[in-house]
């Protein structure tokens, strides 16, 4: 007779390992609350079983040894309480969430955990233009080439567009404001991601306001920068794009241009073949993490949330892993 061991489930000795793995797998498809209702379990029991499942997932994945990393930050709670997220871009998953903010010292903690030898083996880092992160990378991973990724740059441009929207709302009055109010999401979303009603609202907005129409078209066209294969062609495109700004009086866009000029080397480095990373992967990772965050705002246990972020991108446990006790 085979008797399942559950000494490793000291907090919940009533549950077998197989049931714990079942609950953990459900938690990756459903919210914890939904799992608790489905299995008639207390919320804390679901969390305990899910934690065990995720810890085994991380152990099964093995220690990280990334060649290309993505560095980002997330707001752990509403406000400005940040944590650093480092992803392995070749494996397409986060490998570390930590720090107590978004300082140089916070990213240093990751490199210390990774170790000097593995840090020196990093060849490429995709990140925002945040200087503290770049300083940490230069010191700890001296062989890594920096690429300022499209996701972060387009987010800055989206912020500039929204600033134009808000300035137009303040400038106008009466019925001229109607098309602008509450349209932040409509303006900043990709057209293909909008509903039928959203696209109709966008058309009305752009038809009603010439400055917003110009700012929107400039934002949409800027993404073409990453389609060029050589730095020279990329620069030529950027010069033409800047020329389109003349006489438009779009101050937020002028500030955006100045920022791009300051960081041009890290942006155009994407054109070099040895620096190619999947920009879609970087954006996909960031978007999935933010979706997970929105679902997890009720988690008061920060370590649990960090584990959730790392484990969400891992493969489900294999049958052999399910049978091995922790």
Domain covering 68-149+277-295 assigned CATH 3.30.420.10 in the classification: yes
Note whether 20 and 277 are within 8 A (CB).
Answer: no
Domain boundaries, the chain: 1-62+299-326, 68-149+277-295, 151-257
| CA–CA dist 176, 72 (Å, integer) | 39
List the 68-77 sheet strands across, edge first: 93-98, 81-88, 68-77, 124-127, 145-148
pLDDT digits 0-9 by tens, 161-208 = 999 999 999 988 877 787 888 888 888 888 888 899 889 989 988 998
Task: Identify the pLDDT of residue 28.
Answer: 85
Q: Find out whether 79 and 52 touch, Cβ atoms under 8 Å.
A: no
Question: What's the pLDDT score for residue 326?
Answer: 47
CA angle (245, 241, 244) in 5-degree steps: 30
pLDDT at 159: 96
Q: Report residues of the chain scoring pLDDT below 70.
A: 1-13, 77-80, 276, 278-280, 282-283, 294-299, 318-326
Torsion of CA 58, 64, 70, 71, to 10 degrees: 80
The whole-number pLDDT of residue 3 equals 36
CA nearest neighbour of 109 among 132, 93, 77: 132
Q: pLDDT tens for residues 229-265?
A: 899 999 999 999 999 998 899 999 999 999 999 999 9
| Residue 10, pLDDT score | 42
**What pLDDT does residue 302 have?**
84
State the pLDDT at residue 144: 95
Are 267 and 63 contacting, i.e. CB atoms less than 8 angstroms apart? no
Residue 247 falls in which region: left (phi positive, over 0), alpha (psi -120 to 50) or beta? left
Token look-up 């093995």 returns: 62
């Amino acid at each position: 007779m085979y008797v399942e061991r559950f000494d490793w489930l000291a907090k919940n000795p009533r549950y077998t390992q197989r049931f714990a793995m079942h609950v953990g797998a459900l938690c990756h498809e459903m919210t914890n609350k939904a799992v608790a209702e489905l299995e008639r379990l207390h919320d804390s029991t679901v969390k305990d079983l899910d934690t065990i499942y995720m810890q085994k997932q991380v152990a099964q994945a093995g220690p990280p040894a990334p060649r290309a990393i993505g560095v980002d930050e997330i707001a752990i709670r509403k406000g400005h309480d940040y944590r650093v997220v480092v992803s392995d871009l070749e494996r397409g998953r986060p490998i570390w969430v930590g720090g107590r903010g978004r300082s140089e010292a916070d990213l240093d903690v990751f490199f210390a955990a990774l170790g000097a030898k593995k840090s020196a083996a990093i060849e490429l880092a995709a990140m925002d233009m945040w200087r503290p992160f770049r300083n940490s990378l230069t010191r700890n991973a001296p062989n890594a080439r920096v690429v300022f990724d499209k996701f972060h740059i387009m987010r800055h441009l989206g912020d500039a567009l929204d600033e134009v929207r808000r300035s137009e709302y303040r400038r106008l009055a009466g019925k001229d404001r109607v098309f602008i109010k509450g349209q932040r999401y409509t303006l900043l979303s990709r057209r293909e991601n909008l509903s039928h009603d959203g696209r109709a609202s966008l058309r009305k907005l752009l038809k009603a306001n010439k400055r917003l129409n110009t700012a929107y078209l400039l934002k949409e066209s800027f993404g073409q920068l990453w389609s060029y294969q050589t730095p020279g062609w990329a620069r030529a495109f950027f010069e033409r794009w800047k020329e389109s700004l003349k006489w438009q009086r779009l101050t937020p866009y002028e500030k955006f241009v100045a920022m791009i000029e300051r960081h041009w080397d890290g942006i155009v480095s994407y054109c070099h073949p040895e620096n190619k990373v999947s920009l879609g992967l970087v954006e996909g990772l960031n978007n999935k993490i933010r979706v997970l965050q929105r679902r997890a705002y009720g988690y008061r246990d920060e370590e649990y949330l960090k584990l959730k972020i790392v484990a969400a991108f891992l493969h489900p446990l294999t049958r052999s892993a399910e049978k091995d006790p922790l």
